[in-house]
A and B are shown apart, each in its own frame.
Chain A
Amino acid sequence: MPKDGGIGASSKRREDVRFLTGAGNYTDDINIRGQAHVFFLRSDVAHGTLNNVDTSEAEGMPGVVRIFTGADFEAVGSIPCGWQVTDRHGDPMQEPRHPVLAHGKVRHVGEPIAAVVAETLGQARDAAEAIVVEIDELPAVIDMKEAVKDGAPKVHDDLTSNLCYDWGFVEENKDAVNKAFDDAAHVTTLELVNNRLVANPMEPRVAVGDYSRSDDQHTLYTTSQNPHVIRLLMGAFVLGIPEHKLRVVAPDVGGGFGTKIFHYQEEAFCTFAAKACNRPVKWTSSRSEAFISDAHGRDHVTKIELALDGDNNFTAIRTDTYANMGAYLSTFAPSVPTWLHGTLMAGNYKTPLIYVNVKAVFTNTVPVDAYRGAGRPEATYQLERLVDKAAHELGVDPMELRRQNFITEFPYATPVAVEYDTGDYNATLDKLIEISDKAGFEARRKESEAKGKLRGFGMNCYIEACGIAPSNLVGQLGARAGLYESATVRVNATGGLVVMTGSHSHGQGHETTFSQVVAEMIGIDESMVDIVHGDTAKVPMGMGTYGSRSIAVGGSAMVRATEKIIAKAKKIASHLLEASESDIELKDGAFSVAGTDKSVAWGDVTLAAYVPHNYPLEDIEPGLEETAFYDPSNFTYPSGAYACEVELDPDTGHVTIERFAAADDFGNVINPMIVTGQVHGGLAQGIGQALMENCAYDSDGQLLSASYMDYAMPRASDLPFYSVDHSCQTPCTHNPLGVKGCGEAGAIGSPPAVVNAVLDAMRSGGKDVGHIDMPVTPARVWAAMHGAEANAARVGAVGSNAKPQPE
């Protein structure tokens, strides 16, 4: 029976009413009296020496308040990187300085050179056109493998090369892995590209800086997934503002998908300029600016190998990946191809030996960082394409090859340093077979063939590590932050509650889900619980939302704080009921004495806490407010199996997604409606990556896909209704709710199923091309179908990130 409230209920989202009536409060909706607007003049070349920025004419233009250049920021800190990776030789990564405004050199198209603050945005833009910038253009490095060759132009002159780090994992296993390959009965090799993407939340980034001279307080309103992280990074490392003098507010945020985790120059600029100009300064990104200034995602080029014994058991995996960092290190960029990627290379399989090598490379492109899934989609794509290829080479069923190698006993310690607590990969695969109607596929294939089309079925499994993350562990791995979460539960005298959470909601519906949990724990109506987030002046120090961590980590902090509330409330109730505390039970919002009919209502207890006339003041303090910080003891490990059915037009190469099924194990589920919605969105992004989206640079470093006219965002007509199931539930063993997180699964699990399905369709048409790179555009499919020579599948690729050649 579906519940009508509390944990497990598909409660309607309370957020929706304001969003559906135009009453949301997004950062661009904030206008402060007296505010000026800033327009950033950005580099239109990828690499060059910045000789001079002449602002003299522009300064006299109408409405100009002040023009800033890199020289104004020489005394200001570098935009910091939040994660230091140690390379396979034990040395720290190369870490370049990242200025707020370019100084001396420009290193990617879009890098801000000057900032014009004016009365109106139009005036700022007009004045920017009058700035004369002298740049001596230098050869740009765009292709990663070219960038690490001897003699390649250096993105950063003060670094030894363009190699950020050369990471080996697990380095001690390398020789054993190589030996396993020497001893293998079969080796499957695959070279592939994980295409560069742009996250594209529908709300472009916005920053509004404000400064109050009366109390020396800075305020930054910003489109962030983690306002406290911005406060710490920007305050401590860039501008030197102590945290108690800096408030960061991230109100309603219109989607993030990772790209709003990071600290960006524009935030530091608006905060700095608000004081320098003594008036609020607002920046609203245009979409065109977003393409050249939001951190991009993915962009890996990989060779991966699988060793199998004579019985088709996986014996070893070896990978060699080039990961694009772009021109600077974005906040968490170094962690993505390493600790969020290498640790996932075991996937769902009991492969005993794994070695992962990652070379992170600087290029003259926009910085690359976490995008929905972050490292885990790259790992899943490699592994699940590789296993599929191996199955076809060996002539065995891809599903059965997977089943044979599944991890079936938990907890399971992988050879890549993580321990899966729970899972049941056969259960999700069985569920997938059911909900995808695999049994009906052959009939559907015949229907397609009768229309002159080819039809393919592709599937894959996935595992992810989320609920990020145990602070002591990530500290050892190079994180310069803790990854706990916080919550304060404030109970009011009349019984209503406010939960101040360090998690941040930018579409996930926390205000609804979190209320369900607290309401269930106390036994009161959800409407009595309010959720506050996104303001460092209101909520305790929290690390924000990413890595599918909100319910697993933020929810756990909230549960711990609520447990403290209940414990104290029971003490008060025991006093009011003149009973032993151990006999007090809380049910349906009332405290009762076990075995009696004596009870006192929740509201009477909360009132007593604040009007403590009849109250055990000698034992406990008045008031009812508790804070908890929760640091997880392990990651959580959602898993599942996905299937895609495509129809392929052999005349045009056009592929349509006909069916998509997702069977996930998220552990316990709080709000099934919201969880399903999260999967839907992830699937659309994963299918988008597989079929359409590509961030393409030309060899000069010009971004070719720099607007919605050139970057293929999935539309409603590109996608089907999905079949989504999360009834297979193996609860997490180490957090109080038994939850695993669901935000990224869809994006992690879906690309390989799409590509496997396209290859299956091609095979049914008599063309076994072995592999085709994403995005599987009509041009690539047609070329592969008709050319079929070695690199035919790469015809139609644009930009260096899409045209790696085997070494």
Chain B
Amino acid sequence: MAQVKMTVNGKAASGEVEGRTLLAHFLRDDLGLTGTHIGCDTSQCGACVVHVNGEAVKACSMLALEAEGAEVSTIEGQANADGSLNVIQQAFQDHHGLQCGFCTPGMVMSTAALLKDNPKPSEAEIRHYLDGNICRCTGYHNIVKAIMAASGQDTGQIAAE
């Protein structure tokens, strides 16, 4: 067991972990941040996406010890300071971009990373970027639409509702 320290959603966090403990498990089991979900064991589904030092990372593909000293942000830290939904979260609700909610934290975190690098992505760019985030409920239509809306683009031409 080894000591690991990092900053998570702006607060200092630490714990004793095994060498094999994944960041996803550390967040969920040690810190109780269960919004980061684990949907696969081959790094395809993206339900566990968090940001580490500002970059989108699949928390199932990184050891907790690798995040030593890092700034980590998770879905629990995304809402506005007053607790209201941020622009991306609000767009997902407004456009029904989620159903069961299991992939949603990863989708929101990936979207934030996408829009940071590409503030007005095209439909094709969004679909390509989401290659590492699988959703089984929505058929992606409303996720893509929500991301376009979150980036200030007109979604009026996309089929209603």
Contacts and interface: CB of A to CB of B under 8 A. Distances in A.
A717 B128 contact: yes
Interface of A: 10, 12-13, 15-24, 26, 28-29, 31, 122, 200-204, 252-255, 257, 286-288, 506-509, 672-674, 676-677, 680-685, 707-709, 713-717, 719, 721-724, 746
Contacts of B38: 28, 204
Max count, chain A CB within 10 A of own CB: residue among B44, B100, B123, B131: B100
Interface in B37-57: 37-42, 44-45, 47
A507 B101 contact: yes
Contacts of A201: 100, 102, 136
Contacts of A287: 39-42, 45
A721 B144 contact: yes
Given A255-B137, A714-B140, 19 more contacts: A20-B108, A23-B76, A24-B101, A28-B28, A29-B34, A201-B136, A202-B100, A254-B37, A254-B101, A286-B41, A287-B42, A676-B160, A677-B137, A677-B138, A713-B44, A716-B127, A716-B144, A721-B141, A721-B158
Contacts of B36: 22
Contacts of A716: 126-128, 130-131, 133, 135, 140, 143-144
A288 B42 CA distance: 9
B136 A200 contact: yes
Contacts of B103: 202, 254
B93 to A, nearest CB: 4
Interface residues of B, number: 61
B154 to A, nearest CB: 14
Most buried by B among A10, A16, A31, A288: A16
Contacts of A681: 99, 136-139
Contact of A22 (B44, B74, B133): B74
A682 B94 CA distance: 21
Contacts of A715: 127, 130-131, 134, 140
Interface in B107-161: 108, 123-124, 126-128, 130-131, 133-145, 158-161
A16 B101 contact: yes
B18 interface: yes
B96 interface: yes
Contact of A722 (B79, B85, B141): B141
Contacts of A508: 99
Contact of A672 (B18, B40, B136, B161): B161
17 contacts: A20-B98, A203-B102, A254-B39, A254-B100, A255-B99, A287-B41, A507-B100, A674-B96, A681-B137, A685-B139, A707-B44, A708-B40, A708-B44, A709-B42, A716-B130, A716-B140, A717-B128
A631 to B, nearest CB: 28
Nearest to B77: A22
B20 interface: yes
B96 A122 contact: no
A723 B134 contact: no
Nearest to A509: B99
B127 A26 contact: no
Contacts of B29: 31
Contacts of A509: 99
B97 to A, nearest CB: 9
Nearest to B158: A721
A33 B131 CA distance: 38
Contacts of A684: 136, 138-140
B45 A22 contact: no
B99 to A, nearest CB: 4
Contacts of B93: 12-13, 16-17, 20
A13 B146 CA distance: 14
Contact of A507 (B78, B131, B137): B137
B136 A26 contact: no
Contacts of B141: 680, 719, 721-722
Contacts of B96: 12-13, 673-674, 676-677
Contacts of A257: 136
A544 B115 CA distance: 40
B100 A708 contact: no
Contacts of B131: 715-717
Nearest to B35: A22
A171 B160 CA distance: 47
A592 to B, nearest CB: 36
Contact of A202 (B20, B92, B102): B102
A599 B33 CA distance: 51
A724 B38 CA distance: 32
B42 A202 contact: no
B35 A713 contact: no
Nearest to A23: B35
A646 B34 CA distance: 41
Contacts of A714: 139-140
A10 to B, nearest CB: 6
Q: Which of B92, B98, B105 has the most CB of A within 10 A?
A: B98
Given A12-B93, A22-B75, A722 B139 contact: yes
Nearest to B94: A12
Contacts of B145: 721
Top-10 shortest CB links A-B:
A22-B35, A19-B101, A254-B102, A684-B139, A507-B100, A708-B44, A507-B99, A22-B75, A680-B139, A287-B40
A634 to B, nearest CB: 28
A16 B100 contact: no
Nearest to A719: B140
Contact of A20 (B41, B47, B85): B85
Contacts of B128: 716-717
A674 B44 CA distance: 27
B98 A19 contact: yes
A225 B124 CA distance: 35
Contacts of A673: 96, 161
B136 A685 contact: yes
Given A15-B101, A17-B93, A257-B136, A721 B41 contact: no
B143 to A, nearest CB: 7
B49 to A, nearest CB: 12
A29 B92 CA distance: 23
A21 B33 CA distance: 11
A74 to B, nearest CB: 33
Nearest to A678: B99
Contact of B136 (A28, A255, A674): A255
A674 to B, nearest CB: 7
A506 B99 CA distance: 8
B111 to A, nearest CB: 11
Nearest to A252: B101
B102 A20 contact: no
B45 A708 contact: yes
A122 B18 contact: yes
Contact of A203 (B34, B100, B124): B100
Given A21-B76, A22-B33, A673-B161, A202 B45 contact: yes
B137 A21 contact: no
A246 B94 CA distance: 40
Contacts of B20: 122
Nearest to B105: A22
B10 to A, nearest CB: 15
A286 B39 CA distance: 8
A682 B28 CA distance: 31
Contacts of B126: 716
Contacts of B144: 716, 721
Contacts of B159: 721-724
Contacts of B78: 21-22
Contacts of B79: 21
A744 B89 CA distance: 27
